[in-house]
A and B are shown apart, each in its own frame.
Chain A
Amino acid sequence: QKEVEQDPGPLSVPEGAIVSLNCTYSNSAFQYFMWYRQYSRKGPELLMYTYSSGNKEDGRFTAQVDKSSKYISLFIRDSQPSDSATYLCAVMEYGNKLVFGAGTILRVKS
């Protein structure tokens, strides 16, 4: 079993849709949770960083962490074609290295 499971997609949605991206993890020791966006041939860009269970909102993005279920989500409201990218979830234990999901390819059609 992988430490972090993420559906690779691709996920195709119409412009303006709400997008839901999800990851599950197996190790309850993970305490830090991040979502990255990566465009082709670019480095990953940190979108959201959370430390605890609950929701965190930043503009059109909302990150949700449920530690009891070991489940993390990223919601994108009013999706735009420019949101088309690969979205990587990442989890981390205290002071340790990031563990990435496989990445979900998102395509927003105009």
Chain B
Amino acid sequence: GAVVSQHPSWVICKSGTSVKIECRSLDFQATTMFWYRQFPKQSLMLMATSNEGSKATYEQGVEKDKFLINHASLTLSTLTVTSAHPEDSSFYICSARVTSGVSYEQYFGPGTRLTVT
């Protein structure tokens, strides 16, 4: 299967600072990437959908000014958590979609654990 990487795998930051998380599709080009958030023992919550070269589409209730998403190329998307607070502590997972013919397989990165102190 296709490989999606994320960096960093974990990060600790102080309240009020910003954190950037990178998501890369290593062996395929992804027109569409997704950012999810997952709390312990809960399912994935979609935060936003990003398409290369255009603005991200945010899900209802997700603050676009707080969670900045940039899909700069067909292999890279970044999520920046601005002015992070302890309630932003969570597991953030990116995903990239393969679009080929009738295939819409979606692959996930390993996740980034963010802890805000």
A and B: bona fide binding partners: yes
B63 interface hit (Cβ, 8 Å): no
Asked if residues B106 and A34 are in contact (CB atoms below 8 Å), the reply is yes
Residues in chain B within 8 A of chain A (CB atoms):
1, 4, 6, 34, 43-44, 46, 49, 91, 93, 95, 102-111, 113
User: Which of B6, B107, B111 sits near A41, CB closer than 8 Å?
Assistant: B111
* Complex Cα spacing A93 to B4, Å: 23
Asked if residues B111 and A46 are in contact (CB atoms below 8 Å), the reply is no
Binds B, one of A60-68, A69-77, A97-105: A97-105
Q: In A76-101, which residues have CB < 8 Å from any B CB?
A: 88, 90, 92, 94-95, 97-98, 100-101
Asked if residues B93 and A44 are in contact (CB atoms below 8 Å), the reply is yes
For B111, the closest partner residue in chain A by CB is A43
Taking A43-B4, A43-B95, A98-B46 as given, write out 8 further A-B residue pairs in contact, using a Cβ cutoff of 8 Å, ordered by the A residue number: A41-B91, A44-B44, A44-B108, A45-B1, A46-B1, A97-B34, A102-B43, A103-B43
Given contacts A34-B106, A92-B104, A97-B49, contact A42 B111 (CB under 8 A): yes
Given contacts A43-B93, A44-B93, A46-B1, contact A100 B106 (CB under 8 A): no
